Amino acid sequence: MLLSSLGFAMLVPACAQPGAQSSSGTSTAAGAASAAPANCTPLETRNANATGQSPAFQGQTRTCGVTSNVAFDVVVVTDALNRPWAVEPLPDGRFLVTEKPGKMRIVSASGQIGEPIAGVPDVAAGGQGGLLDVALSPTFATDRTIFWSYSEPREGGNGTAIARGVLAADGTRLTDVRVIFRVMPTYNGRQHFGSRIAFGSDGMLYSSFGDRSDTPMRPHVQRLDGHLGKVIRIRPDGSVPDDNPFVGRVDAKPEIWALGHRNPQGLAFDAQGRLWQVEHGTRGGDELNLIQKGKNYGWPLQAYGVEYSGQQPISSALGASAPSVAGMEQPTYLWDPVIAPSGLQYYTGSAFPAWRNSLFVGGLAGQRLVRVVLDGTRVVGEEHLLTDRKSRIRDVKQGPDGLLYLVTDAAQGELLKLVPKGR
């Protein structure tokens, strides 16, 4: 293994914030200065992209920065991956990695990259499409089943799909491959496919999907007759649980669990069984959301930020957006300017005790790993890590060993391991 730069949390001035794991820090993330307690100094000094928008509550953005003062080494397991999109640690110390152009591989603990795994369906690679997330079945130890999401080529366009298959003992091929879910409607586009996969303690598969980006598709997000801009909940065989919120409605897809999302690329459960999600907003509209059954998270009617063109407010066939709309859920946290969040992990390991019960978010445009400190369901601190590496972090996962593993979005993408210094 190749040892790279040493990483450690920088010491910063104290910032009183009840419930934070560390009492020191300055605030990070952009937004109105009134969003954070008066004794916090933002790490983010750039102006917000959106003007005239105020957070709905204190701490929704620019909360206190914190420092965990954790010293760690950054180990480069490999730097020879082609646009890796997801990493999934295996029980034996190896890793399943997806590459966006359409290949899935196993990487050994020492960084040896295996040949492409046979049996992966063709993908509609291009733009933001390709081979996306991968996740182990909760029963992987006994059945070696894995699940993955990808942009599926279809007549008339493409769409996100979820497939499952059995990984051979030698890791060279997939058998019994079948698609268990297809996002509808089909669309001929190249953007905002989503998606992540997470299994709940109920044994159900949850997954998140984007709005396909183009303005004419935005109204689908607020409609229940399709899956664009939704979080879904299905059984591992693709069937629909009877207690999903819209089961029995003739105007609704029964798989839908929540709606109103733009381009969610992070999904993770915490130790209490709560489901968290991060999604890409427009300029200044990145969100962390606590996903709840049947709730509407607003897009495109409720949104922070501005269009990429600079237009404000955001518009669609449904009308102009506003930061707050009655009956719609507010984001738990906002970033303006954006970090472009991709990948989400709730940390429960013992390797980094100071990080336990934090959310870790990969930052693409932000080129950093963001630690979000929680007090229950409130964000009470934020820490930026790996800023010196200038890498677009696409995914972050906790391994069985309690270490954190990341992949970077690059033509020569890296698989990184964070190890306590001196271990």
List the Cα angle 32/37/39 in 5-degree steps.
110
The full DSSP string for 103-164 is: EEEEE-TT-PBPPPPBTPPP---BTTBSEEEEEE-TTHHHH-EEEEEEEEEETTEEEEEEEE
Q: Write down the catalytic residue from 192, 220, 227, 280.
A: 192
Q: How confident is the model at residue 26 (pLDDT cuts 50, 70, 90)?
A: very low
Bridging pattern class, strands 286-291 and 333-335: antiparallel
- pLDDT tens for each residue of 267-321: 999 999 999 999 999 999 999 999 999 999 999 999 999 999 888 888 888 888 9
Give yes or no for a contact between 374 and 380, defined as CB atoms under 8 angstroms apart. Answer: yes
The closest alpha carbon to 231, from 270, 272, 197, belongs to 197
Give yes or no for a contact between 371 and 329, defined as CB atoms under 8 angstroms apart. Answer: no
Average pLDDT, the chain: 90
Residue 39: predicted pLDDT:
67
SS3 36: coil
What are the CA-CA distances from residue 206 to residues 95, 148, 314, 353 (Å)?
22, 12, 28, 28
Indicate whether this model's pTM tops 0.85.
Answer: yes
CATH 2.40.50.140 fits domain 2-420: no
Alpha-carbon 323 to chain mean position: 22
Kindly state the percentage of the chain with pLDDT values over 90: 83
Give yes or no for a contact between 62 and 44, defined as CB atoms under 8 angstroms apart. Answer: yes
Q: Is 384 a catalytic residue?
A: no
Over residues 102-109, mean pLDDT: 98
d(CA 344, CA 266) in angstroms, rounded, equals 5
Residue 275: predicted pLDDT:
98
Over residues 220-247, mean pLDDT: 98
Residue 358: predicted pLDDT:
98
Residue 41: predicted pLDDT:
66
Other CB atoms within a 10 A radius of the CB of residue 4 amount to 15
Using a 10 angstrom Cβ sphere, with 0-12 exposed, 13-18 middle and 19 or more buried, the burial of residue 272 is exposed
Over residues 171-176, mean pLDDT: 97
The closest alpha carbon to 298, from 266, 332, 345, 261, belongs to 261
Give yes or no for a contact between 201 and 269, defined as CB atoms under 8 angstroms apart. Answer: yes
Residue 18: predicted pLDDT:
29
Question: Which residues are bridge partners to 187 per DSSP?
Answer: 158
The closest alpha carbon to 401, from 9, 67, 77, belongs to 77
Q: How confident is the model at residue 42 (pLDDT cuts 50, 70, 90)?
A: low
pLDDT of 162 > 60? The answer is: yes
d(CA 146, CA 132) in angstroms, rounded, equals 13
Residue 37: predicted pLDDT:
55
The closest alpha carbon to 222, from 302, 128, 139, belongs to 302
